[in-house]
Amino acid sequence: MIVLTVLSGVLAGCGSAEDTRARTAALPKASPEPATGSASPSRVPESKPPVLAPGPGGLTPVFERRADDAGSAPGSGTPDKRAEAGGAADKVVALTFDADMTADQGPRAADGEHFDNPALIASLRRLKIPSTVFMTGRWAQEYAAQARSIGTDPLFEIANHSFSHYAFSSPCYGLPTVEKPDMRREVERAFTAIRGTGARNVVPYFRFPGGCYDDASLKALAPTGVTAVQWDVVSGDAFATDADAVAEQVLAEVKPGSLVVMHCTRSAAPVTEDAVRRIVPELRERGYRFVKVSELMRG
């Protein structure tokens, strides 16, 4: 892995439901190309993912170093020795699940659309899989009892996915855009909503909605001290209907130290639970151990 430090906070960038088909070796820049996702204002055709290019030294980065106080050049990809120490010998993998819900999707939830996935959480518990849920504040408000249950179970940790699930740079897959002066509040408001449910296992990690960011958004979030997390394995579960295909994609791409992006949003990712029930035993058979993002970050 490669770690990123920006200004006074530690930051990187990562994606969510609407860019599960969009991967880059570095932090994802906003793209004009559409992608699917539970939080997009309208459903659009899935886009084919670009090839994931290797980083420096042949690494496939989960994190990318950008300009920091030491003067590293943006995109230099300087490896963090702590992360290198884990290396390929440590067969760990982190499964992460985005709990997406935009601020304006309340009427859809009221009409019966499920942005939650309690069966998935139940399966993770049965399988005893430590996991990190990147949760929007709006999701926490809509499903407060579930947020509290997840956030008080030591098997899980909850990270920040913004309050509204609006984009932090534009264009970003049709998402509404957060104004720069409001970006810090988006993060702080999400933490307030999540903790307001009674969740205690809340970690200072952040995932950019849509994976879209720019230098201005990085600077805007630096005072929050969050660490925003990138992935190296895209499950492809957004709007997927074939659980086996999702599982095969993950199993083909996982490497020691991988971070997998999946979703905890039933309406947009209906086969995730089935895919997980295939992925977990296969990776265990290969000798992998499942960890939360916080353990993966410790290397």
* All domains in the chain, ordered by first residue: 17-40+49-298 (3.20.20.370)
- Helices and strands of the chain, counted as H and E runs: 10, 8
Low-confidence residues in the chain, pLDDT < 70: 1-89, 299
Residue reference for tokens 């130290």: 257
Dihedrals phi, psi of 188, to nearest 5 degrees: -65, -40
Question: What pLDDT sits at residue 88?
Answer: 45
pTM of the model: 0.75
CA torsion sign, 32 to 174 to 170 to 271? Answer: negative
Report whether 135 contacts 115 (CB < 8 A): no
pLDDT of residue 213: 85
What is residue 215's predicted lDDT score, i.e. its pLDDT?
86
* Beta pairing, strands 258-263 & 233-234: parallel
